[in-house]
Structure 1
Amino acid sequence: MKKLSNIKIWISILTIPWMACQPDLLETIPNDRISKEIFWQTLGDAEFAANAVYPTLDGTGIFSYDGLTDHLLTNHPFNANVELQRGFGTIASGRYFNEWQDAYQAIRRANDFMDNIDQVAEDDQDAINRLKGEVMTLRAYHYIKLAMLFGDVPLITTGLDIETGRSVTRDPVNEIWDFVSTELNQAADWLPYQNGSRIGKGAALGLRARAMLYAGRYAEAASTAKTIMDSQEYALYPDYFEMFQYEGENNQEVILAREFAADVNSHNIYATAAPWSQIPGSTGSLYVPTQSMIDLYPMANGLPITDPQSGYDPQQPMENRDPRLYQSVFISERTPLPDGGIYGSTPGTDGSDAVQITVYSTATGYNIRKYVDEEDYTNPSNSGLNIILMRYAEILLTYAEAKIELGEIDQTVYDAINEVRQRESVNLPPVTTEMAPTANELRAFVRAERSVELAFEGFRLFDIRRWQLAEQVMPGVPMGRFYEEDDEWKQIRLDGFDRSFDPARDYLWPIPQRERELNTNLTQNAGY
Structure 2
Amino acid sequence: MKLIYNISLLGLLILTGFSACRKGLLDPQPSDRVSENIFWNTENDALLATNALYTDLDSVNVFTWDALTDIAHTNQNFDTQAFIELGSYDISNAKIYNEWSGAYKGIRAANYFLENIDKVNTANTALINRFKGEAKVLRAYQYIKLAGFFGDVPLVTKTLSIAEAKLITRTPVGEIWDFVDKELSDASALLPATYGAADKGRITSGAAWALKSRADLWAGRYQLAVDAASKVTGYTLYTSYQNLFKYVAENNPEVILNKEFLKDTYRNGIFALLAPYSQKNSQSYYVPAKPLVDAYETAAGKSISDAASGFDPYHPYDNRDPRLRFSVFVDGDVLPSGTVFKPAPTSGSADAVGSTYIASTTGYNIKKYINTEDYANPANSGINIILLRYAEVLLTKAEAKIELNQLDAEVYTAINTVRNSRADVKLPSIPAGLSQDQLRQIVRHERTVELAFEGLHLFDIRRWKTAETVMTGPVYGITYPDASNKLVTVQVVSFNRVFNKSRDYLWPVPQKETDQNSNLKQNPNW
TM-score between both structures, scaled by the size of structure 1: 0.92
In structure 2, the CA distance between the partners of 1:224 and 1:25, relative to structure 1 (3 Å rule), is closer
2:209 is matched with which residue?
A: 205
SS of structure 2 residue aligned to 1:480: strand
Larger Rg: 1
1:400 is matched with which residue?
A: 398
In structure 2, the CA distance between the partners of 1:27 and 1:383, relative to structure 1 (3 Å rule), is closer
2:336 is equivalent to residue 338 of structure 1: yes
Distance 1:25 1:98 in 2: 35
In structure 2, the CA distance between the partners of 1:30 and 1:112, relative to structure 1 (3 Å rule), is farther
2:253 is matched with which residue?
A: 252
Q: Structure 2: which 5+ runs fail to align?
A: 1-21
User: CA shift at 1:37, angstroms?
Assistant: 2.2
> Could you list the per-position Cα deviations for residues 88-142 of structure 1 after superposition, in whole angstroms to 9, with x for gaps in the alignment?
1111111111111111111000000011112222211110110000000000000
Distance 1:212 1:246 in 2: 32
Return 72-81 or 138-147, whichever deviates more: 72-81
Distance 2:117 2:347 in 1: 62
SS of structure 1 residue aligned to 2:418: helix
1:318 is matched with which residue?
A: 317
Aligned residues: 497
User: CA shift at 1:476, angstroms?
Assistant: 0.2
User: CA shift at 1:26, angstroms?
Assistant: 7.0
Distance 2:23 2:468 in 1: 67
User: CA shift at 1:35, angstroms?
Assistant: 2.0
User: CA shift at 1:314, angstroms?
Assistant: 3.0
1:154 is matched with which residue?
A: 154
User: Which runs of structure 2 are paired with 1:436-515 in the superposition (5 Å)?
Assistant: 437-485=434-482, 486-515=484-513
Q: What amino acid does structure 2 have at the position aligned with 1:503?
A: K
User: CA shift at 1:527, angstroms?
Assistant: 1.0
Distance 2:128 2:395 in 1: 33
CA contact (8 A) 1:29 1:35 kept: no
1:3 is matched with which residue?
A: none
> Could you list the per-position Cα deviations for residues 66-92 of structure 1 after superposition, in whole angstroms to 9, with x for gaps in the alignment?
011111111122222111110011111
User: Which runs of structure 2 are paired with 1:98-497 in the superposition (5 Å)?
Assistant: 98-195=98-195, 196-197=199-200, 198-228=202-232, 231=233, 233-278=234-279, 280=280, 282-333=281-332, 335-422=333-420, 423-433=422-432, 437-485=434-482, 486-497=484-495
> Could you list the per-position Cα deviations for residues 407-434 of structure 1 after superposition, in whole angstroms to 9, with x for gaps in the alignment?
0011111000011111211111111126
Q: What amino acid does structure 1 have at the position aligned with 2:243?
A: E
Q: What amino acid does structure 1 have at the position aligned with 2:103?
A: A
SS of structure 1 residue aligned to 2:267: coil
1:12 is matched with which residue?
A: none
SS of structure 1 residue aligned to 2:78: coil
Distance 2:431 2:25 in 1: 74
Distance 1:141 1:30 in 2: 38
In structure 2, the CA distance between the partners of 1:425 and 1:28, relative to structure 1 (3 Å rule), is same
Aligned-CA RMSD value: 1.4
In structure 2, the CA distance between the partners of 1:115 and 1:29, relative to structure 1 (3 Å rule), is farther
Q: What amino acid does structure 2 have at the position aligned with 1:287?
A: Y
Distance 1:136 1:308 in 2: 51
CA contact (8 A) 2:262 2:381 kept: yes
Q: What amino acid does structure 1 have at the position aligned with 2:89?
A: G
1:18 is matched with which residue?
A: none
Return 74-83 or 322-331, whichever deviates more: 74-83
Q: What amino acid does structure 2 have at the position aligned with 1:498?
A: N
> Could you list the per-position Cα deviations for residues 133-186 of structure 1 after superposition, in whole angstroms to 9, with x for gaps in the alignment?
000000000000100101100000011111111100000000000000000001
In structure 2, the CA distance between the partners of 1:37 and 1:270, relative to structure 1 (3 Å rule), is same
SS of structure 2 residue aligned to 1:350: coil
Q: What amino acid does structure 2 have at the position aligned with 1:285?
A: S
SS of structure 2 residue aligned to 1:483: strand
CA contact (8 A) 1:29 1:37 kept: no
2:80 is equivalent to residue 80 of structure 1: yes
Return 413-422 or 68-77, whichever deviates more: 68-77
Q: What amino acid does structure 1 have at the position aligned with 2:211?
A: L
Distance 1:29 1:216 in 2: 55
Q: Structure 1: which 5+ runs fail to align?
A: 1-23
Distance 1:29 1:300 in 2: 71
SS of structure 2 residue aligned to 1:103: helix
User: CA shift at 1:312, angstroms?
Assistant: 2.2
Distance 2:363 2:225 in 1: 38
User: CA shift at 1:29, angstroms?
Assistant: 5.5
CA contact (8 A) 2:321 2:427 kept: yes
CA contact (8 A) 1:261 1:383 kept: yes
Q: What amino acid does structure 1 have at the position aligned with 2:101?
A: Q
SS of structure 2 residue aligned to 1:241: coil
Distance 1:25 1:129 in 2: 30
User: CA shift at 1:296, angstroms?
Assistant: 0.9
Q: What amino acid does structure 2 have at the position aligned with 1:251?
A: N
CA contact (8 A) 1:342 1:352 kept: no
CA contact (8 A) 2:275 2:282 kept: no
Distance 1:152 1:307 in 2: 42
TM-score between both structures, scaled by the size of structure 2: 0.92
Q: What amino acid does structure 2 have at the position aligned with 1:210?
A: R
Return 29-38 or 449-458, whichever deviates more: 29-38
CA contact (8 A) 1:330 1:369 kept: yes
Distance 2:520 2:143 in 1: 17
User: CA shift at 1:247, angstroms?
Assistant: 1.0
In structure 2, the CA distance between the partners of 1:515 and 1:430, relative to structure 1 (3 Å rule), is same
Q: What amino acid does structure 2 have at the position aligned with 1:465?
A: R
Distance 1:27 1:484 in 2: 75
1:15 is matched with which residue?
A: none
Q: What percent of counterpart residues are identical?
A: 47
CA contact (8 A) 1:389 1:457 kept: yes
User: CA shift at 1:272, angstroms?
Assistant: 1.1
2:4 is matched with which residue?
A: none
Distance 1:90 1:26 in 2: 49
Distance 1:25 1:122 in 2: 24
User: CA shift at 1:308, angstroms?
Assistant: 3.4
SS of structure 2 residue aligned to 1:288: strand
> Could you list the per-position Cα deviations for residues 474-515 of structure 1 after superposition, in whole angstroms to 9, with x for gaps in the alignment?
000011111111121111112410000001000001101111
User: CA shift at 1:203, angstroms?
Assistant: 1.2
CA contact (8 A) 1:343 1:352 kept: no
Q: What amino acid does structure 2 have at the position aligned with 1:105?
A: K
SS of structure 2 residue aligned to 1:494: strand
2:15 is matched with which residue?
A: none
User: CA shift at 1:352, angstroms?
Assistant: 4.5
Q: What amino acid does structure 1 have at the position aligned with 2:464?
A: W
User: CA shift at 1:338, angstroms?
Assistant: 0.6
> Could you list the per-position Cα deviations for residues 322-347 of structure 1 after superposition, in whole angstroms to 9, with x for gaps in the alignment?
000011111102x1111111111111
